[in-house]
Structure formats: structure tokens, C-alpha cells
């Protein structure tokens, strides 16, 4: 079995609106999979279907190789989840809330509950605030408590909806390093985010959602390799430069007021420079522009991502 999460044709309609449209997810075992998309693109609805919280209109999926929802009782205890608005009791402390959740899990051993809860609180950096009532928690502290709840189960697969949402920069860094540590211990992580920078920092794989559709899905290394570098020449004679670029085999050649550029493909940049000089094109500047993931995602979705954070 190679996929920790696998869906085929997963679809959810709300009335006339198709929130999730025939999504085929494939999350490899051991991956940190970034489920990336702008607000409203269908990430949360997909995650809720994966966890069996929302019934799909069509399609199906497997978690850890088991068919859902048929195998839900067997497989869900092996899956840690953080979904929007976890139902914590506001008048109980963080620790007491975890005890409640842990006690509700029939597969958890009550004898080791205190140790399990202490370890989970510790991992998310909430030990000091564990004795406070949840109603006094900030959004970031609630988010951490949600993560601690996800860590109560064995972390074979973690499904996290916007895990760094509401955290300050320090908290964001801590949660990202926690995710990296869990992955290093062998867990598969699927996390949703609208931050491309988050995907670039911690993910090995990415799936891009746009208007309910999964418009791209690949290991990050392959996406980076697939975004072709462009060569750019600054010159007073852009038309002549463009002709040379085409002669040299560059594709998608474009010109601006004082520049020409094209996709290099297999052509070596030093050959292009030599050809420009040979053709008497005055070269003020020559550069190879690094592939830019953001540009690629924008071209896939026609929308920008929030790149801060």
C-alpha cells in the first residue's frame, strides 16, 4: 500500500453549488502533503469528507488503505485530526478537555491517560497553560489544544485543517517544526493551508485546489523541476535579441521595451550569450530567472496566494 489517503471522484454539492468537484487525492505514505488553495476553494469540505464528518455526494476514499466509511471504526482511531472549531468545553481547563476527549476514545488505555495527555500538551507547548480554562485561551492556544487532541491518537496519519491559523509567528514556527518532527518519526501529514510559503517550508507534496477542483498534485521537487527557467536579455534591440533566442531553440520568446526573454529548455545559457554577441546584439544584462512556484500556482488558479507568514 503506497497511499495514506486516496480518493476517487470525491464530490460534494450544497444545493446547486459544487463545493468539491471530482477530487482524486493521492497522499503518499510518509509525505507532508500541503493541501493548498484560496479561501472557499473546497479544502475544508474535502477534509471533512475524508474524516467522515460530511457525507460525499459522489465518489469515495480510503484512509491508510481501508475503505471509508465502511472501515471507519477500525481506521479512525489511527488518524489524528484537527478540524475547524474543535468542540472544547469553555469552562474546563485545557488538560481537563483532553481528559474528556481521551476518555471518549474506547481504544485508548485509561491507565496511561495522564502520561499521554501530559506528553501531548508538552509537544504543543501548552504545559504552562494547561490549568487555565479554555474560555480564557487565545485563538492560538485553542489551535494548540486542537493539535494536542490530534496527538492523543497514534500519529500514523494526521489530517490538519489550517494548523497554523491564528498563531503568532513564534507559534507558527513551533507548529511547523512539530509537524516536521512528527513526519521524521514516520507519520503522514495532510495539512490544508492558503499559504504557499508554508508549503514551500514544510511540505514534500502539494495538491492545489481551485473552485472545488484539484488542479495540480505532485511532489514539490517535480513541480520545481517542471517550472522551466527563462533566459532574459536586457538590450536596446529586443527584436534582434528575440530572433537570436528563437534561432537558438528557446521557446515562448517574448519582448519588452528593453528586453527579450524565452524558456531555455535544454539550451545552455552560455551558448545563448555567445550567439547574441556573435549577432552583434548589444547585451546590457543577461540572466537566468529561477523557476517561481508562486507564478506557477497563480497561472494554475488565476489567483494569488497570501504569501506572507
Ligand X SMILES: Nc1ncnc2c1ncn2[C@@H]1O[C@H](COP(=O)(O)OP(=O)(O)OP(=O)(O)O)[C@@H](O)[C@H]1O
> Could you list the residues that contact ligand X (CB under 6 A)?
14, 17, 19, 37, 39-45, 194
Minimum CB separation of residue 178 from ligand X in Å reads: 21
Cβ closest to ligand X, residue 45 vs residue 248:
45
Q: Which is nearer to ligand X, 94 or 207 (CB)?
A: 207
Q: Report residue 46 as a C-alpha cell.
A: 474535502
Query: Smallest Cα–Cα separation from 216: which of 37, 10, 13?
Result: 37
Q: How far is the CB of 42 from ligand X (least distance, A)?
A: 4
- Say what the alpha-carbon torsion angle 200, 201, 203, 206 is, to the nearest 10 degrees: -20
73/257 Cα distance (integer angstroms):
64
End-to-end C-alpha distance for the chain, whole angstroms: 35
* Min CB(154)–ligand X separation in Å: 26
| Smallest distance from ligand X to CB 189, Å | 17
Compare residues 41 and 248 and give the one whose CB is closer to ligand X. Answer: 41
C-alpha cell at 162: 489550517
Please say whether the beta carbons of 49 and 222 come within 8 A: no
Q: Which residues 6+ apart lie within 8 Å of 32 measured at CB?
A: 179, 180, 183, 188, 189, 191, 202, 203, 204, 205
Task: Considering the complex, state which of residue 102 and residue 198 has its C-beta at the smaller distance from ligand X.
Answer: 198
Number of Cβ within 10 Å of residue 177's Cβ equals 11
CB of 84 to ligand X, least distance (A): 7
The residue among 50 and 130 lying less far from ligand X, judged by its C-beta, is 50
Amino acid at each position: 500500500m503506497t497511499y495514506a489517503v486516496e480518493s476517487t471522484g470525491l464530490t460534494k454539492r450544497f444545493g446547486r453549488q459544487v463545493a468539491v468537484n471530482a477530487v482524486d487525492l493521492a497522499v503518499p505514505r510518509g509525505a507532508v502533503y500541503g493541501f493548498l488553495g484560496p479561501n472557499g476553494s473546497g479544502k475544508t469540505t474535502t477534509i471533512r469528507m475524508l474524516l467522515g464528518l460530511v457525507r460525499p455526494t459522489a465518489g469515495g476514499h480510503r484512509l491508510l488503505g481501508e475503505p471509508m466509511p465502511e472501515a471507519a471504526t477500525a481506521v479512525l482511531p489511527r488518524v489524528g485530526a484537527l478540524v475547524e472549531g474543535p468542540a472544547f468545553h469553555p469552562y474546563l481547563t485545557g488538560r481537563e478537555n483532553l481528559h474528556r476527549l481521551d476518555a471518549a476514545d474506547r481504544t485508548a488505555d485509561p491507565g496511561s491517560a495522564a502520561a499521554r495527555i501530559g506528553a501531548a500538551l508538552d509537544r504543543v507547548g501548552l504545559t504552562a497553560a494547561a490549568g487555565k480554562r479554555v474560555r480564557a485561551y487565545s485563538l492560538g492556544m485553542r489551535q494548540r489544544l486542537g493539535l494536542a487532541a490530534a496527538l492523543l491518537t497514534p500519529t500514523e496519519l494526521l489530517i490538519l485543517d489550517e494548523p497554523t491559523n491564528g498563531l503568532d509567528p513564534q507559534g507558527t514556527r513551533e507548529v511547523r517544526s512539530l509537524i516536521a518532527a512528527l513526519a521524521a518519526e514516520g507519520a503522514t501529514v495532510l495539512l490544508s493551508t492558503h499559504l504557499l510559503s508554508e508549503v514551500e517550508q514544510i511540505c514534500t507534496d502539494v495538491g492545489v485546489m481551485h473552485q472545488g477542483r484539484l488542479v495540480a498534485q505532485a511532489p514539490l521537487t517535480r513541480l520545481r523541476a517542471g517550472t522551466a527557467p527563462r533566459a532574459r536579455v536586457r538590450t536596446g534591440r529586443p527584436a534582434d535579441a528575440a530572433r537570436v533566442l528563437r534561432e537558438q531553440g528557446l521557446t515562448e520568446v517574448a519582448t519588452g521595451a528593453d528586453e527579450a526573454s524565452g524558456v531555455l529548455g535544454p539550451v545552455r545559457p552560455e551558448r545563448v550569450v555567445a550567439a547574441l554577441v556573435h549577432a552583434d546584439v548589444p547585451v546590457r544584462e543577461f540572466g537566468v530567472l529561477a523557476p517561481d512556484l508562486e507564478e506557477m500556482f497563480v497561472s494554475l488558479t488565476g489567483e494569488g496566494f497570501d504569501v506572507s507568514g
